[in-house]
Structure 1
Amino acid sequence: MNPKKIYFASDQHFGAPTSEISFPREQKFVQWLDEVKKDAEAIFLLGDLFDFWFEYKTVVPKGFIRVLGKLAEIKDAGIPIYFFVGNHDLWMGDYFEKELNIPVYHDNKEFTFNGKTFLIGHGDGKGPGDMGYKRMKKVFTNPFSKWLFRWLHPDIGVKLAQYLSIKNKLISGAEDVKFLGEENEWLVQYCKRKLETKHYDFFVFGHRHLPMEITLNEQSKYINLGDWIGYFTYGVFDGETFELKKYE
């Protein structure tokens, strides 16, 4: 019998650039979920599952029913699922918690598996630099900003947000994401600073859309999960080692 494994995936951006174009990626991700549930001890989704998400009091964006249904099926089967909010779905509220019984985290969280310590999160706004985004995030996560947006009719608010989201060059494909070098990758710098005060075996993040595995010291590694737009990569921890894999 194979030992149980812990799976990690991030940055699916379903709905981008259109629902029709992203639909094959959604189908592929559901197929992956079907396969990993066979030996999954837990599944971690590290944000930007959707290219845009907003929860009105009685309304959520339509679509994504196959992904949501599969997550519900896996959770109902007793497999824990953990969701970390990304910068594209940062307006997530309690829908996942109430409807799917999936806990939602808005910041990094520590976990320990088989004696190995993890720091897990989406990764946006961490580390030095990127002050413009950090200021923007404070505005968008402000309760007053969410209250104002909620007054837009969903047909208007969702369409507007989707339009602004796909203007992002990263999603439109107009700009390639490139490795900046270990000394310039701000999440690497963030991890190194965290290690100055506490040990972690693995730092696992998304957001950068690049599959990366970087050794920080003899006992610690930084992992970036890549994405499900161009790479279709995911992470798997077997109790001893962490490995990045590509889903074909």
Structure 2
Amino acid sequence: MKISLQPNKKVYFASDQHFGAPTAKESKIREEKFIRWLDEIKADAQVLFLMGDLFDFWHEWNHVIPKGYVRVLGKLAELKDSGIELYMFVGNHDLWMKNYFEEEIGCKVFFDKQYFEINGKNFLLAHGDGLGPGDKGYKRMKKLFTNPFAQWGFKWLHPDIA
């Protein structure tokens, strides 16, 4: 994908906020800082890459999304509505995304690494978990978590239990 920056515009990256952890109260403090940062970059941002694990847990059922994060989600929608392009890379804590971010916010979601050309420079972008050698236990667990049958079974759990 090719991106040509407009004069005086920038690309920003954010990763691994893990909103929701370790507790809702502690997370809310980080969420407020993140929202302030999003307000700061709004003036000169052209593109925002969210590099995964925005939430400590994210799973989309057919008619339910995780409780909370309304201010973060609203701020992302505001940025998109103002013309800032949003790209989300799914991490190991939010790999159960479906279509909420694309349909409700307009944020393009990637499940695998992607190549971008930004102002003539090439970038390979990904969340990064499981890409290197080793860590075979995690890679086996990721195969289970991304297995369509396992995901189908999990969605039948009530969100309060899941």
Please give the TM-score of this superposition, normalised by the length of structure 2. Answer: 0.94
> Which of 102, 106, 110 is residue 107 of structure 2 equivalent to?
102
Largest Rg, 1 or 2: 1
Tell whether 2:20 aligns with 1:10.
no
> Which of 39, 42, 49 is residue 44 of structure 1 equivalent to?
49
- Distance in 1 (alpha carbons) for counterparts of 2:23 and 2:60: 20
Q: What is the root-mean-square deviation in Å for CA atoms of aligned residues?
A: 0.8
Structure 2 counterpart of 1:7, one-letter code: Y
Partner of 2:146: 141
Partner of 1:125: 130
1:42-67 CA-to-partner distances (Å, cap 9, x unmatched) read 00000000000000000000100110
In the comparison of the two structures, how many residue pairs are matched? 156
> Which of 27, 43, 61 is residue 66 of structure 2 equivalent to?
61
Structure 2: where are the runs of 5+ without partners? 1-6
- Distance in 1 (alpha carbons) for counterparts of 2:116 and 2:83: 19
Tell whether 2:72 aligns with 1:73.
no
Structure 2 counterpart of 1:97, one-letter code: E
SS at match of 1:112: strand
CA contact (8 A) 2:80 2:105 kept: yes
Please give the TM-score of this superposition, normalised by the length of structure 1. Answer: 0.62
Identical-pair percentage: 65
CA contact (8 A) 2:46 2:83 kept: no
- Distance in 1 (alpha carbons) for counterparts of 2:119 and 2:158: 48
